[in-house]
Amino acid sequence: MDIRRYKGNPIITCSEVTPSSKDFQVVGVFNPGAAECNGEVVLALRIAERVKQEMEGYMRIPLLDQNNKIKLLTINKKDENYDFSDSRVIKKVGSNVDFDYLTSMSHIRIARSCDGVNFEIDEVPFIFPENKYESFGVEDPRITKIDDNYYMTYSAVSKYGIVVELAVTNDFKSYKKLGNIFNTENKDAVIFPEKIGEKYFALNRPVSKSTGNPVIWISESDNLINWGNHKIVACTRENSWDSAKIGAGVPPIKTDEGWLELYHGVDDMEHYSMGALLLDTNCPEKVVGRSKDPILKPQENYEKSGFFSDVIFPCGVVLRGDELYIYYGICDNSIGLAVVKIKDILNTLD
């Protein structure tokens, strides 16, 4: 299949982003939602920032306090009550959760482009953590245009777990938060761009703590706020590139053959790749086609080494003519662009 990585990849890196505070440094810009607005391509960037570590032997981490203000928590690296083995998280020894703190805090920032390649990045955040569900950060936005509005789903992280929140904008200059639409543990939510049989639909990825792998579900709603009638859409496959977990990537794209969904799959070595599902036009919980092999997998040097290596994580897509401009996170630290014709993807599906 002829999928073309942009020769100048990565198209956005940390060095191009202004920190939101003099106390912070940008350690990642990745997993962008995408849309077209007023003739421009707009990306909603996930910006990960760490506190500048100026105290040797100590780790300082950002989080919101009970008044929803940023505070810096300082932990001695020699404190045997904490596990610092994963650079992304801090865990209390003996804790039964995956992590107790993140070492960085993410916010969402807007970037704009006339050609879909060269972007100007806002110097200030668009959505910044501001409530108890967002106290560890906001992450991985996806954007769906419905009528004249752009609906943005994103993961909100806190000590209460990970929930999916929804915001709406019509200009990417201001927004209104509509609240939590999927409670913990859930993420990777993408909304279909139109109603199907008088209902809105969204793909999402709840995470079971008791048994089973994380897989893609579908839910329906009358109003985009209250979701129900949850059903499984697609599962992991043994001995495959998507054997460990899968999650929705970009908002579904309507084609003559059905809804095209680009998703991420993770293998047993924790390598993240991109594949595709084709969902029935009128019954979107029904899969009518699926990638046997990845459409895009880590193979370039910049995709195989980074903050979290071997990661391709699609979150945004823009349709330009008959081609998809796919914007994907690379190794949790930069953004890549790949271009492909819709028909070329459809022709590979089983």
Question: What are the residue ranges spanned by the domains of the chain?
Answer: 4-346
pLDDT values of the chain reduced to their tens digit, one per residue, 350 residues: 789 999 999 999 999 999 999 999 999 999 999 999 999 999 999 999 999 977 889 999 999 988 899 999 999 999 999 999 988 999 999 888 889 999 999 999 999 999 999 999 999 999 999 999 999 999 999 999 999 999 999 999 999 999 999 999 999 999 999 999 999 999 999 999 999 999 999 999 999 877 889 999 999 999 999 999 999 999 999 999 999 999 999 999 999 999 999 999 999 999 999 999 999 999 999 999 999 999 999 999 999 988 889 999 999 999 998 899 999 999 999 999 999 999 999 999 99
Please choose, from the candidates 139, 123, 115, 157, the residue with its C-alpha nearest in 3D space to the C-alpha of residue 18. 123
Distance CA 21, CA 140 (A): 21
* Cα(7)–Cα(16) distance, integer angstroms: 18
Q: Is 265 exposed, middle or buried (0-12, 13-18, 19+ CB in 10 A)?
A: buried
Q: How is domain 4-346 classified at the architecture level of CATH?
A: 5 Propeller (2.115)
Burial 1-11 (b: 16+ CB within 10 A, else e): eebebeeebbb
Among candidate residues 301, 243, 290, the one with its CA nearest the CA of residue 271: 243
Closest Cα partner for 26 from 110, 127, 112, 104? 104
